[in-house]
Amino acid sequence: MDIQSWFSSQGSYADGVMLYSKLATCNANVLRSFSRENTANFLKLKYELKKASLSLTDTNVAQSVKVATEPKKPIKRQPLLQEIIKQSAAVSFEKETMVMYPMELHSTYRQRVSDFYLACELKFQLNSIADDDENNALTIIIQLDDLWTKIDRAWMILGHWKDHNRIMPTESHEDFSQVSGNKLVMLRDNLQSSISKREKTIESMQERVKASPEDRTLLNLLNRKLEQLEQKKIDLETIRKKLKDE
């Protein structure tokens, strides 16, 4: 199992720890902290594996194991925080600029870059927290988990444009401000059911597209279904947030 498969299949905590232990960048102290399974450690593990999956050396665990067996190189002095963030951003955003995307996606691009920098800064804050300060550590880990979810969604939206020259929905088109609480609950339940059904439909269509990649009509239909699914998810998030705030 590799890191991407672990995320896709919602792998177990034990499997995640095993994957982390095989990384070339595995930190012995961090690995020891994973000896106890709890919410904070699980979120921290997800962050470490997500960071590794975006790394040039740790995308494939098998490759990481090979790298780990090589003779250790002399340790270089760690750059300053801003230099580290700058270097990471250079790798993540190499050969990509905002002008590659239409105006409708510029805000998504800017927010993804902003979230990436914030995630880097929060990771350094997390590293500086004392081992016994679990409350502050958990707060930062939850923030990081939320940021990586947003970053993943932004990559999906931008990738959809690059692959298909189509714009994925990025915001709710419905005004729920005047909808009553009971009506919102009903809308939430209907959307949850609709999303579940749409996901099953898309799974079936994806298999058909794989079998007939030359069928452009089928591919366009699949893309429309994916865009409609994303719109439903955005509306569902909007309704959940409104119900939580009431």
Residues 83-99: pLDDT tens digits? 545 555 554 555 678 88
Element (H, E) at 138: helix 134-164
Nearest to 107 by CA among 170, 174, 175, 166: 170
Please count the CA atoms within 13 angstroms of the CA of 14 that sit on its side-chain side: 0
pLDDT band, very low/low/confident/very high, at 64 (cuts 50, 70, 90): very low
Average pLDDT over residues 117-123: 88
**Whether pLDDT at 81 is above 60:** no
Q: Please report, in angstroms and rounded to a whole number, the separation of the first and last CA atoms in the chain.
A: 43
Contacts of residue 227, Cβ cutoff 8 Å, sequence gap at least 6? 160, 166, 167, 168, 169
Rounding to the nearest 10 degrees, give the CA dihedral for residues 77, 80, 81, 86: -100
The C-alpha atoms of residue 44 and residue 148 are separated, in whole angstroms, by 12
The C-alpha atoms of residue 83 and residue 89 are separated, in whole angstroms, by 10
Nearest to 123 by CA among 109, 147, 140, 99: 140
Tokens 């921290």 belong to residue: 44
Q: Which two tokens stand for residue 185?
A: 């609950």
Contacts of residue 161, Cβ cutoff 8 Å, sequence gap at least 6? 101, 102, 105, 167, 168
Tokens 């939206």 belong to residue: 157
Q: Tell me the C-alpha to C-alpha distance, in Å, between residue 193 and each of 37, 200, 237.
A: 32, 11, 14
Q: Check: CB of residue 109 under 8 Å from CB of residue 103.
A: no
Residue 152 identity: D
**Whether pLDDT at 197 is above 50:** yes
Please count the CA atoms within 13 angstroms of the CA of 226 that sit on its side-chain side: 20
Rg (CA), the chain: 21
pLDDT: which is higher, 215 or 41? 215
pTM of the model: 0.62
Q: Tell me the C-alpha to C-alpha distance, in Å, between residue 176 and each of 188, 192, 233.
A: 11, 16, 14
Average pLDDT over residues 54-70: 44
For the chain, helix, strand, coil in percent to 5 are: 70, 0, 30
Q: Please tell me the predicted confidence (pLDDT) of residue 95.
A: 63
